Amino acid sequence: MMHRRGILIRSRVISLRKEIFRKSIHLCTAFVPLMLHYLYGLTIAGLFSVLAVYIISEILRLNGRNVPVFSAITEAAARKRDENRFVLGPVTLCCGVLVSALFFNETAAAVGIIGLAAGDGLASLFGKMFGEVKIPFTGGKSVVGSLSCFGVIFLLSSLITNNTAAGLVCGFAGMFAEMLPLKDFDNLLIPVVLSAIVQFCF
């Protein structure tokens, strides 16, 4: 009994470490709007380059050939469900950021990208750490995680737009988008929804 409990605790600790590592990468994308403001073309080119190199490294990794740095990061961050599979999260993350950067104005893109980075990132992390109460039909999303997502997006969107109403709408929209059981594809949905709300509604 004690041995089994020890295994479960160890498994949970490993899972939490992976989540922290993965979401630290997620949170780093919050700096992209600042880079876009000063070095737009270079930042876009850099994002496309990282995306291309990552896809190639994943294909090589699945064929038994590791690429320095990229393969190590993937293995350190991969969830249980991603074992021996193409890890899609970084692709959808990068694509979500690129869509916001390319098709929306600077303020709208900043809300979308930072909302994804901080809102979705912290929702997942807090949900993993404190999310005992799950929300039905959401694929395991928790009340704590979803409320964290709302709070962070509301606060940051309000600050970026200087508009509390925009922050409130973005907070609810981001929370409901994050609650959908889309797995890695919420990385595409959240920034586009938030950017569109700011650009077309405010």
Helix, strand, or coil here: 136? coil
Whether residue 179 contacts residue 144, with contact meaning beta carbons closer than 8 Å, is answered with: no
Bridge partners, 134 (sequence order): 142
- How high is the pLDDT of residue 7? 52
- How high is the pLDDT of residue 81? 63
Name the residue among 185, 191, 184 with its Cα closest to residue 100: 191
What does the buried/exposed string (b/e) look like for 167-200 if buried means 16 or more CB atoms within 10 Å of the residue's CB?
bebbbebbbebbbeebebebbbbbbbbbbbbbbe
Torsions phi, psi of 65, nearest 5? -120, 115
Tens digit of each residue's pLDDT, the chain (202 residues): 545 555 555 666 666 676 777 778 878 899 999 999 999 999 999 999 999 998 998 888 888 787 777 666 776 666 666 667 888 888 999 999 999 999 999 999 999 999 999 988 787 777 777 767 888 877 778 888 889 999 999 999 999 999 999 999 999 999 999 999 888 899 999 999 999 999 999 8
DSSP label of 182: -
* Sequence ranges of the domains in the chain: 2-201
Reported as half-sphere exposure (CB side, CA atoms, 13 A), residue 53 has a value of 13
Whether residue 116 contacts residue 124, with contact meaning beta carbons closer than 8 Å, is answered with: no
Give all strands (DSSP E) within the chain, no chain letters: none
Angle formed by the axes of helices 164-179 and 186-201, nearest 10°: 160
Torsions phi, psi of 180, nearest 5? -65, 140
pTM assigned to the model: 0.87
- How high is the pLDDT of residue 195? 98
- How high is the pLDDT of residue 12? 63
